Amino acid sequence: MKPFDKLSERQRNILRFIDRYIVDNGFPPTIRDIGEATKIASTSVVNYNLNKLVQAGFLERSAATSRGLRLIKPIPNSRRKVKGIIEMPRVHLIGHIVASAPVSIPEDIGHYTDEENMIEVPSSILGAVDAAEVFALSVRGDSMIDAMIQDGDIVFLRKVDEVKNGDMVAVWLPERGETTLKYFFDEGAHVRLQPAHPTMDPIYVSAANCQVQGKVLGVVRQMR
């Protein structure tokens, strides 16, 4: 009997999922991702089976990252080559987008060293953008719900000097005392900040009262 066939059905399903996930996303899944995909409610049970797969020689794990999984043996019908652990870039989680509280975006976001406020950013979101130009904010509120961004999500933004009409941006509005996440439209005498919510009206402000803090690159849903 081949080593793969000696594993439990649950362990084979975990390996198959890890393999597919890396092919589709370019980086390994988290323990929570694995549990949801394989219908294992307990993260400790997922962790137990991952350790068994390490003992069986199918996986290596790194404690340095939450996605530190490496497939070191081929599995049947795999669509990928075995690769090493993928270290995901990390960026600074600046704070929240909330009404009545400004978010201070530092001039040099690439030189933060506070490990407690660093968060991994998927390479699929970064693309060709340097991680040193990117920061993250936690969303508060549902004004962008129709854009698939909801309360509690993490948005990744690139600090930019200029934006185009239709870009989703984080802006600080000094006269209103608000930081907000909206679609940006320059309409000459004023700027229209358009929500993505069926019951919310746009915000109109003068250009002088609209300080763009960053352009949204992507969003990650926080599991609750």
Cross-strand bridge partners of residue 22? none
Measuring CA to CA, how many Å separate 90 from each of 21, 140, 159? 20, 22, 15
CA–CA dist 22, 75 (Å, integer):
13
CB atoms within 10 A of CB 144: 26
164 is catalytic: no
Residue of 100, 143, 159, 206 marked active site: 143
Tokens linked to 216: 């949204």
- Please give the backbone phi and psi of residue 92, each rounded to the nearest 5 degrees, phi first: -85, 130
Residue of 42, 66, 81, 182 marked active site: 182
Alpha helices in 69-147 (DSSP H): 123-126
CA–CA dist 167, 38 (Å, integer):
37
182 is catalytic: yes
Q: Among candidates 184, 143, 171, 168, which has minimal Cα distance to 219?
A: 168
State the catalytic residues.
Answer: 143, 182
